[in-house]
Amino acid sequence: MLIPSVFQRVLTVAVAGVFVLLPGSAMAQGQPASQSSGQQQPAGQPTSQPQQTQDPSQWPSQWPQPTPPPPPPQTTPTPQATSQPPQKTAADQPVQQKDTVTPKNSKEDVDAIGNRGIGKGVNFYSLEREIALGKSLAQEVERSSKLIDDPVVVEYVNRVGQNLVRNSDARVPFTIKVIDSDVVNAFALPGGFFYVNSGLILRAQEESELAGVMAHEISHVTARHGTKQATKGELMQLATIPLILLGPGGWAGYGIYEASQLAIPFSYLKFSRDAEREADYLGLQYMYKAGYDPNAYVTFFERIQADEKRQPGTIPKIFSTHPPTPERIANTQKEIARILPAKQEYIVTTSEFDTVKARLRNIVFSRKVQAAPGKPTLRTKTEQAGKQGQGTDPNANPDDDRPTLKRRPDTTP
């Protein structure tokens, strides 16, 4: 009969529609939107077998058309919590270095360190005279400063410095000592007499930062900036001698002028900006040659710059002749990318640096506590009585502070 036949077909279409709707609902609830739209799944992912349904376009028009499944809701994937550290910004990323570089001259060739003509130029001082000058200046420094004499701290700082010296263009031996000072500074005198303030060690966060500052000061000695500066001063003095002799004082005026030059000036530590730029340039090479990460040179400058912005006046006055810190940072980044070939590994810091830093912090803290004004002191009874001049038995031993025992008087009848 016609009616049952039509009824069977309608029933078949309804059942097929249910099978079509069921996969769509599951997809909307558990599948991503990209897969529900008919895109091909990536290889290796389990795929569901498609339902074998008849093409609705081939159905007769009098058949009821199945309702299409609703589109899956658009959802934003929730970020999963991971243990990875946050991504660094572009400013925090280390400078990209080339695998190979082509130096234009020996001064750019880090492989030629130790065999270069660093320090050449007009200089009235021989190396022997320069060492003698530095020794006299070092005596003045140690006479007016307090040195850290802890053997662990001194040996560590000396070892770090001597490693940098071995990887430099130094032509004189170095003597490295630590000064007990909170000022973030280090300085090297002509002839290799090198001093590191305790404040610099405590301010550095990694050994590579300490090595960078020390390499900068070592560069002043290798380039002979101190004696070159003194030579320029002597040339200027020689140029003014004819004017003094022609003046009203004559030879007497010249004698007064010579007497005023007897004191050893500390102008050997105040270099021109060009000399500071060269020390940055060479120091960067020396710390790289010694195996340290050259980017630590930049990070320390950035920290000093932040300290100066937060609290003006934190940079020592001796740094007044240094180039501005932003300029030094920019120049250092350019040189890292231009002349230093990339290495697989760098020394950033060591556990020994942390140990020595903690030890030095305790030493400095103990010194400050002992030097604190108004600190209460404990004195023995004998000392107090001796200062007051009373309260002691003349027959008793003044040095005997031992307690005495007495019998309690018997009060019973």
Q: Annotated active-site positions, please?
A: 217, 280
Cβ 178 vs Cβ 208: under 8 Å = no
Q: What are phi and psi of 77, to 5 degrees?
A: -60, 135
Q: Is 114 helix (H, G, I), strand (E, B) or coil?
A: coil
| Alpha-carbon span 257 to 74, nearest angstrom | 89
| DSSP annotation of 268 | G
Rounded-to-integer distance, Cα 183 and Cα 203, Å: 10
Taking alpha carbons only, the member of 260, 268, 172 closest to residue 218 is 172
And the tokens for 210?
């300490």
Q: d(Cα 277, Cα 252) in Å, to the nearest integer?
A: 42
Structure tokens belonging to residue 254: 């010249």
How many Å apart are CA 142 and CA 198, to the nearest integer? 15
Give dist(CA 360, CA 249) in Å, integer. 56
Q: What is the 3-state secondary structure (H, E, C) of 351-395?
A: HHHHHHHHHHHHHHHHHHHHCCCCCCCCCCHHHHHHHHCCCCCCC
Q: Render 116-160 in DSSP notation, one character per residue.
A: S-TT-S--S--HHHHHHHHHHHHHHHHHHS-B---HHHHHHHHHH
Question: Phi and psi at residue 11, in whole multiples of 5°?
Answer: -65, -40
Do 287 and 208 touch, CB atoms closer than 8 A?
yes
H/E segment holding residue 196: strand 193-197
